[in-house]
Amino acid sequence: TLASKEITFARNNWMCCESSALPVDPIVNPNQAVIDKLQEMANLYRNSNDKWRAYGYQKAISTLKKCHRPVTTYEEIRMLPGIGSRLAEKIVEIMETGSMIKLEEYQTDADIAVMDLFGKIWGIGPAQAKRWVDLGYRTLDDLRTKAKLTHNQMIGLKYYSEFLERIPRDEVTQIENVVREAAESIRPGLLIQTCGSYRRGKATCGDCDILITHRDGISHEHLLFPLVDKLKANGFLLDDLVYTDKHDEEPGISFCLWFIPIGSEAHPLSRNGFGRCPPTCHVYCPCGNMLDGNGCPICRCRPSNTCTGRHPNSFGRPPNSKTKIIY
């Protein structure tokens, strides 16, 4: 009917109704050359604290990644969702010349190039990168020898190259198996699932996100610390980025991220991330979710514009709002 067609058309115009799965593998994407240049520009904007331009470029990148055929004309580009006239002109420029004047200008700007370098360190945002540039630091060695670094910054700098590498899928499988064995030895009956790009079937992953929960919504609580201690004791977990028991005192603040470096003599595996949601976090959101340029969920249904969204990797809605989840 006409009404159903109108509803279908309306849904197709909402980003939150777009599937998070990418039907075209980035390796064989027909628009990969354009995507690469747009990503370079998005990274530069993000690292120079121009969040809205970075967000606009990231939306265009997501659209092109889902495109099954190469776009060849301005008109075709304008027909794609999330791409305006100015960005369409930039894409045409890339197709015709292989680059963008704006990108080349940014890349030749010394301060922006250094901010981009510093911005790739784990945990470093545009504001901190700019402070270092203003202090005269220009290289990673400058930071190592001159800057006063926090624990997290030292770890991010120590494993700078490793953080930028992708993890092979079979290596993520091995990581999951090690974590599964350790978790089940502490508390049998847990539900354990590696999520993110691994669950979507990608050949490589940026990190390893492991969801650990229990069907009763309770038995997985207070598992994080004994699990981490066990993984450290067996030599699997070597360095931590954020490790705090603050959530025991302040339930609204609770997040932990862990790191396993590549090339460890103690274990051949690479990296693994643990996070803990705030107690008020919900697994489902009725509007769905999309990601910003940093890979963070964005939702329009709350004033804060942040929520977990409807996650395809979840095991179901928590039985109450106080359910804690380790993922």
Beta-strand runs (E) in the chain: 167-168, 191-194, 204-205, 210-213, 239-242, 257-259, 290-291, 297-298
pLDDT confidence of residue 244? 52
**Catalytic residue set:** 90
pLDDT confidence of residue 234? 87
pTM, 2 dp: 0.55
- In the chain, which residues fall in CATH 1.10.150.20? 111-161
Q: Hey, what are 63's tokens? A: 């659209």
- In the chain, which residues fall in CATH 1.10.150.110? 2-104
pLDDT confidence of residue 14? 54
pLDDT confidence of residue 13? 53
User: What CATH number matches the domain at 2-104, 1.20.1280.50, 1.10.150.110, 3.50.50.60, 3.40.50.300?
Assistant: 1.10.150.110
Q: Hey, what are 269's tokens? A: 């595996």
pLDDT confidence of residue 28? 74
pLDDT confidence of residue 47? 81
Return the number of other C-beta atoms located less than 10 Å from residue 169's C-beta.
14
pLDDT confidence of residue 20? 53
Which residues of the chain are under the pLDDT cut of 50?
2-11, 22-26, 246-327
pLDDT confidence of residue 24? 42
Positive or negative torsion for Cα 100, 105, 107, 108: positive
Among 167, 178, 175, 238, residue whose Cα is nearest residue 207: 167
CATH 2.170.16.10 corresponds to the domain 111-161: no
H or E segment to which residue 213 belongs: strand 210-213
Helix, strand counts (H, E) of the chain = 14, 8
pLDDT confidence of residue 7? 46
pLDDT confidence of residue 27? 54
Q: Measure the CA–CA gap between 94 and 242, rounded to whole angstroms.
A: 40
pLDDT confidence of residue 252? 37
User: What CATH number matches the domain at 167-298, 3.40.50.2300, 1.10.1300.10, 3.30.460.10, 3.40.50.970?
Assistant: 3.30.460.10
pLDDT tens per residue across span 112-145: 889 889 988 988 888 899 899 999 999 999 999 9
